[in-house]
Structure 1
């Protein structure tokens, strides 16, 4: 357990809701995030595991188990048209909390970014490493 990690101390955030859990992982949701990301949640290991690359075989199995349960739950209560599912790893990879967490984001046909998946933003020409090098050299 890491005393500075909000996912290691899930019970200290009164807004965080544990929807499902198994031996090694939780599926959680935060109501304040539901207005924009309706139905979104996270699968997180119960023990402090910094990145997805450090998950044990048991944590992988339990993550998959909760991902499937979360999908059934979200299909029933939100009826999404698709999903974006992914791990951000490392600060440059977009990981803001250094505790492995799998984003489970229901997607809907009527949302402004429908059809734009995880890669959409990072494959924009403005994200080119070559462009970045050129800008630094000026």
Structure 2
């Protein structure tokens, strides 16, 4: 399935750059954000709004995509990675086609030690019942 205006549906030819790697069910784009030049996103070839819509077959290939992404970044010798899905507008998803952010992390970087736990350590907010 392709969504007509989705920039991550390959058939739409709306990408500003070319995939840098592919597996059977996923492709990866490199970062176009100058603030995070060594990063990427793994995207399913079939449109799904979020990772909850991925099929069992796609999940079976997901490990291959992650391994290929890690290998792609290996020349940079990262000391760690931050991986993240933003699901829904409230969670900062801007393109509603599933995609996993992969950010290699390095000792000595300005944000060393800052990761997803910062969000989890923010005082809890609970909607009114």
Q: Same fold (TM over 0.5)?
A: yes
Larger radius of gyration: 1
Aligned counterpart, 1:11: 13
Distance 2:17 2:117 in 1: 28
Pick aligned residue for 1:84 from 82, 85, 92: 82
Aligned partner of residue 75 in structure 1, secondary structure = helix
Aligned counterpart, 1:112: 110
Distance 2:18 2:102 in 1: 15
Aligned partner of residue 17 in structure 1, secondary structure = coil
Gaps of 5+ in 2: none
Per-residue deviation, 1:123: 2.2
The TM-score with structure 1 as length reference comes to: 0.80
Number of residue pairs matched by the alignment? 126
Distance 2:8 2:73 in 1: 22
CA RMSD of aligned residues (A): 2.0
Aligned counterpart, 1:29: 30
Per-residue deviation, 1:17: 2.8
Distance 2:119 2:99 in 1: 20
Distance 1:54 1:110 in 2: 37
Distance 2:57 2:17 in 1: 24
Gaps of 5+ in 1: 134-138
